[in-house]
Amino acid sequence: MTMETTQIKPASNLDLDATGVRVPSSVKDKLPSDAHNANVLLETKDVHIWFGQRLIIEKVNLAFPENSVTALIGPSGCGKSTFLRILNRMHEFIPGAALAGKVFYNGQDIYDSKVDPVDIRVNIGMVFQRPNPFPSMSIKENVLSGLHLAQLPIENEEEIVQTRLERASLWNEVKDRLDASASSLSGGQQQRLCIARALAINPKILLMDEPCSALDPGSTRRIEGTIRELSSDMTVVIVTHNMAQAQRVSDYTAFFLAEEGAPAQVVENGLTEEIFSRPKDPRTNDYVNGLFG
């Protein structure tokens, strides 16, 4: 980390107008009265994404209010996961990846040259599609691994392990075998371990890339419960193909669609309830009702 590195400030109650961050009108118009006061913690402005010469996502403007769950829905291959990876600078590891537009976290452009990408990833955690605990580590080591990787101080190991596993609803199942290998857990347990691992470094935002797509219905239900609980003090952005899941867990929904041969765009976004019950765009209506996908 260099001296010029700008440390990302912890989330604070910023005034919407004063900071210039904005909620897209479609969301703003429909926010319930309490959400009108919510801060926008993360926002994208005119985000375009390329792989090599191919433009895959065009002009995405989205705002993610603090302590809410936003679901990104849309057909396979339309770039939702890529967009998610833009939000914490994971996309830049892909050869040929390119970006235009801005992503603001707490009012700070995360792609600014002074920003340390490691700080961004500490503040904006990620849970992946397939459970990916470190197989050679124990359950406990997995929970603490992020702290080691990000070189953060560890004050009370036991407490960190217990609280994070509790928040990920895994504590009761593993409290007697914290030293067992992470690979000994079932797929659903492994995914909850990955959530606990991501929580250990105290991110303000959690990005989840189809976290239940490789899991059975029981595990899915538990993880959805965890997501709802997390949203009481955390901002969650979740990519999902499961319409019912989007309705169950999210406060807001953004619908991505790539028309034939064209890059993907956000067709509609707003309160989940509105998107699913009274979509404005006929394409959204067709998609959420399963007429294509």
- Residues at the contact surface with other proteins, assessed by CB under 8 A: 88, 90, 93, 95, 118-119, 121-122, 125-126, 128, 130, 132-136, 145-146, 148-152, 181, 194, 197-198, 201
Token pair 């309160």 is found at: 271
Region for 252 from its dihedrals, namely left if φ exceeds 0, alpha if ψ lies in -120 to 50, beta otherwise: beta
**Which among 197, 202, 291, 284 is positioned nearest to 246, based on CA atoms?**
284
Rg (CA), the chain: 19
Q: What whole-number distance in Å separates Cα of residue 119 and Cα of residue 142?
A: 20
Q: What whole-number distance in Å separates Cα of residue 86 and Cα of residue 44?
A: 9
| Separation in Å, CA 216 to CA 48, 195, 221, 240, 247 | 35, 17, 9, 15, 18
What are the strands, taking DSSP E only, across the chain?
A: 40-51, 54-65, 69-73, 97-105, 108-109, 124-127, 205-209, 235-239, 252-258, 264-271
Task: Give the chain's end-to-end CA distance (angstroms, integer).
Answer: 44
Distance of alpha carbon 196 from the chain centroid: 14
**Which among 36, 37, 63 is positioned nearest to 205, based on CA atoms?**
63
Shortest distance in whole angstroms from residue 199 CB to other proteins: 11
Shortest distance in whole angstroms from residue 208 CB to other proteins: 11
Q: What whole-number distance in Å separates Cα of residue 176 and Cα of residue 287?
A: 45
| Separation in Å, CA 168 to CA 218, 219, 237 | 15, 12, 16
